[in-house]
Amino acid sequence: GFKCGIVGLPNVGKSTLFNALTQTAAAQAANYPFCTIEPNVGDVAVPDPRLDTLASIAGSGQIIPTRLTFVDIAGLVRGASRGEGLGNQFLANIRECDAIAHVVRCFEDSDVTHVEGKLAPISDIDTIETELMLADLDSLEKRAAALEKKAKGGDKEAKELLDLMTRALVLLRDGKPARLVDVKPEEEKTFRMLGLLSSKPVLYVCNVEEASAKEGNALSAEVFARAAEEGAKAVVVSAKIESEIAVLPAEDQKDYLEAIDLEEPGLNRIIRTGYELLKLVTYFTVGPKEARAWTITAGTKAPGAAGVIHSDFEKGFIRAETIAYDDYVKGKGEAGARDAGRLRLEGKEYVVADGDVLHFRFAN
């Protein structure tokens, strides 16, 4: 599954938000199997009203949402890349994540100490980003030194890798994140394998005071501008509100949200924006037994999508019976959609679209 690391300076509301996210997910998913794997790792059901609609049309006995894993990565402080705090351990945790949710303090509260002494989201962002870049610089310099000999000896693979690493190093030495490296399509896999922290997609989570939960405030506006500059994404939440919502049963959550004029919990917005950031799409498998959502990266072809369910589905893939979500709903189910001529037989080259209802045919 996809993993999102929650980072930020101390006292910005990471733990409050993490606990709220996992509890809200548990309440929303009252009927779904749910687990918190470890105290700092939460497996969150991705809220998707389409799945409920499909299940009710098909009379599915069980609803199984797709999941996103959140990891609360505490302890990232100035100096982490030099091993300050519990530095290296935390950097290693980030390395395993597909994306970073960077919580930024945008709320005033004289009772909550600001670790840097003043409220300054952009400089807080720079502090964290600098640690990530320094860690990358350090790891790349070490690895590049070892590769140089091989590259000089005529090892073609080593030479190509070194070339990619050198382009990243040039940026990092200039104080720029590795996400700005111009990666050729054929280098993408290798680049990902380098596991550079500053190359991970970032979602800024602006933690604002309750009154600004809907529109944000002047500080969150600064963060949004910064996100736009660097091709990142940003959302506004109030961790305090989220933690109050989290302890309510699902039906009361709606009333509470209405009372404060919010359309949905911050969790939903974070997940949705996270999906956009990671270019993820959802497809569905629907039957009388269960309706289930699955996550793939945009651009995945039918066999790869089948492989998310089981590797045998991918190996023996023959075709995918495909109905677009809207057609499934209009046809009031598979039979109706088929009668309306909306069931397509798609082959190996078909790129699965968001919302597709799929039925895989495969040979063992």
**Alpha-carbon separation of residue 75 from 11, 83, 137, 230, 283 (angstroms):** 10, 11, 20, 25, 36
Q: Does the annotation flag 16 for ligand binding? A: yes
Nearer to ligand GDP, 7 or 197 (CB): 7
Nearer to ligand GDP, 75 or 333 (CB): 75
CB of 181 to ligand GDP, least distance (A): 30
CB of 108 to ligand GDP, least distance (A): 8
CB of 37 to ligand GDP, least distance (A): 19
CB of 100 to ligand GDP, least distance (A): 14
CB 87 within 8 Å of CB 81? yes
CB of 68 to ligand GDP, least distance (A): 19
Q: Does the annotation flag 61 for ligand binding? A: no
CB of 270 to ligand GDP, least distance (A): 14
Nearer to ligand GDP, 190 or 217 (CB): 217
Distance of CA 336 to the CA centre of its chain: 35
Residue, CB closest to ligand GDP: 13
Nearer to ligand GDP, 240 or 301 (CB): 240
CB 54 within 8 Å of CB 65? no
Nearer to ligand GDP, 213 or 286 (CB): 213
Q: Which residues are near ligand GDP by CB under 6 A?
A: 8, 10-16, 74, 107, 109, 112, 207, 209, 238-240
CB of 119 to ligand GDP, least distance (A): 12
Query: What are the backbone angles phi and psi of residue 43, rounded to the nearest 5°?
Result: -100, 110
Nearer to ligand GDP, 31 or 113 (CB): 113
Provide the residue type at 57 as one letter.
I
Q: Does the annotation flag 14 for ligand binding? A: yes
Q: Does the annotation flag 352 for ligand binding? A: no
> What is the SS3 assignment for the chain?
CEEEEEECCCCCCHHHHHHHHHHHHHHHCCCCCCCEEECCEEEEECCCHHHHHHHHHHCCCEEECCEEEEEECCCCCCCHHHCCCCHHHHHHHHHCCCEEEEEEECCCCCCCCCCCCCCCHHHHHHHHHHHHHHHHHHHHHHHHHHHHHHHHCCCHHHHHHHHHHHHHHHHHHCCCCHHHCCCCHHHHHHHHHCCCHHHCCEEEEEECCHHHCCCCCHHHHHHHHHHHHCCCEEEEECHHHHHHHHCCCHHHHHHHHHHCCCCCCHHHHHHHHHHHHCCEEEEEEECCCEEEEEEEECCCEHHHHHHHHCHHHHHCEEEEEEECHHHHHHCCCHHHHHHCCCCEEECCCCECCCCCEEEEEECC
Nearer to ligand GDP, 20 or 169 (CB): 20
Nearer to ligand GDP, 14 or 50 (CB): 14
CB of 325 to ligand GDP, least distance (A): 36
Q: Does the annotation flag 200 for ligand binding? A: no
Q: Does the annotation flag 166 for ligand binding? A: no
Binding-site positions for ATP: 11-16
Q: Which residues are annotated as a binding site?
A: 11-16
